[in-house]
Amino acid sequence: MIKWRERTESMPFVRGLRAFFASRWYLLLIVLLAAVSYATGGERVVWSIFVFFAAVAMLVCPDLLPVVPPTFAAVFCLSVRHAPMRPTYSGYLFTGRGLAVIVVLGTIVVLSFLAHCILFGVRLPENTGKPALAPFLLPLTAVLLLNGLGQGGYSPKNLVFGAITAFCWCGLYFVYALQLPHGEKTKEYIFDGCFAIAWLLLFELGYVYMTNGVVKNGAVDVSKIVTGWGIHNGIGIMLALLIPLMLRMAAKRRRAPLYYLTAVALLVGVVLTTSRGSLLVGTGAFLTGSVILCFTGENRRVNRLMFALTLVLAAVALLGFREQIFTFLPRFRTDGLDDNGRFVLWREGWHLFLGAPVFGAGFAAISFKSWAGGLFPGYLHNTVFELLGAGGATALAAYLAYRVRSVMLFVKKPTFDRTFMGLSIAVLLGGSLLDNHVFNIYPMFFYAVLLVLSEADLLAATGADVPVETETA
């Protein structure tokens, strides 16, 4: 391993590849490819390119930082025509050639990762801190795998989805914790990637509005707000999750108006999704972050001005064009604070728990409509009731212990960066009390990276870790 590391350090070609993977040109290429895939249905080609980039990066780079951008963007490549859920319920991903391609690409990724671990090791020697959440994630993994144990009519789908959830909550954290370098450059690289993803998502939302027939008779039809990877609620939470990160960039970087306006654009995007839960948590994060920017950060004056202008424009829109807004977005008037069937789902979760209080009734026992051929179960649209119903008291207890420990990452010696990363995570967790976001795959990649970055920031703040950079970062 040492010989390979030393040999690659002396290769100009390898140094050039590392410089490319560390550049914004690489990030731009990733999101452009994702946009093309989304618009044309060329997922297999673009995913193959992403896997090629990831495989090369894992063979020549001492860390997995260059793998993060294609990981972030991969799911957003999925077009409407190949959606595994509404509106098309396509078998593109899970049947025939599509499944074969995914298996082949997945195999290449796994083999490349194993090769990376052999060549460079499973832990960066520079990262001195141990994954702090490990003692809490291991029990959580166990109870997720045990969901529905001992129940009559036990379904193997319980184990499959439990494993998928455990990988998203626990596996991704360990991969990133062991393979991402600590330091400011890593953080800025991830933020740059999130900025690129923000505009990718805004492009896709605009594309949906232009091509899906969303606007009908002057009003938005929420059933038409759907991408290949999510419906209006899923789109809304992803837009909202990125808002605090844009505000953080507005506070510390040149061109502060660009990043602040991106945050505003994301919030407008949330409004256009008509996702009430996402609007609630997104607006809360935007206002909280903007108030912080008025008093701290390197660009306080310009951010105060941007915040004031945003409030004035919002007030003018709400007071002067209220009826037009409600006509265009009727769901906010017709649905208001209606539960939209959630109370029924939550009662189902409670009854499932009462029938199987220890390990739950299993994810497959939830009666709400499943998707992707039954691979993904129905959801109860609330993290607590989902865990109680599917995994019982053991699952909820393990999750709460893990959650309390994760919150400590943000309240112990808080820093500016960790505050905004915590706001992003709070958006996801808050939205998941009204929906199933933490049980979806794609938001958890962002969650895991932000959690690891926050842990590294805490280590640096407490003096337990000296930030260092690798050439890749």
Q: Which helix (H) or strand (E) holds 315?
A: helix 300-320
- In angstroms, the CA 54 to CA 109 distance is 7
**What is the model's pTM?**
0.92
pLDDT score for 188: 95
Binning the chain into helix, strand and coil, the percentages to the nearest 5 are: 70, 0, 25
pLDDT score for 123: 60
Radius of gyration of the chain (CA): 22
The β-bridge partners of 216 are: 219
Report the Cα 417 to chain-centroid distance in Å. Answer: 18
- In angstroms, the CA 92 to CA 130 distance is 40
- Which residue is associated with the tokens 């590391």? 5
pLDDT tens string, the chain, 473 residues long: the values are 556 666 666 677 888 899 999 999 999 999 999 999 999 999 999 999 999 999 999 999 988 999 999 999 999 999 998 887 777 777 777 777 888 898 999 999 999 999 988 888 766 545 445 778 889 999 999 999 999 887 776 778 888 889 999 999 999 999 998 888 888 999 999 999 999 999 999 999 999 999 988 998 889 999 899 998 989 999 999 999 999 999 999 999 989 999 999 999 999 999 999 999 999 999 999 999 999 999 988 899 999 999 999 999 999 998 988 888 888 888 887 776 777 778 889 999 999 999 999 998 888 888 776 665 556 788 899 999 999 999 999 999 999 999 999 999 999 889 999 999 999 999 999 999 998 899 998 999 999 999 999 999 988 887 654 444 444 44
DSSP calls for 366-410: --SPPBTTTTB----SSHHHHHHHHHHHHHHHHHHHHHHHHHHHH
Paired tokens of 36: 């093309």
Paired tokens of 473: 């970062």
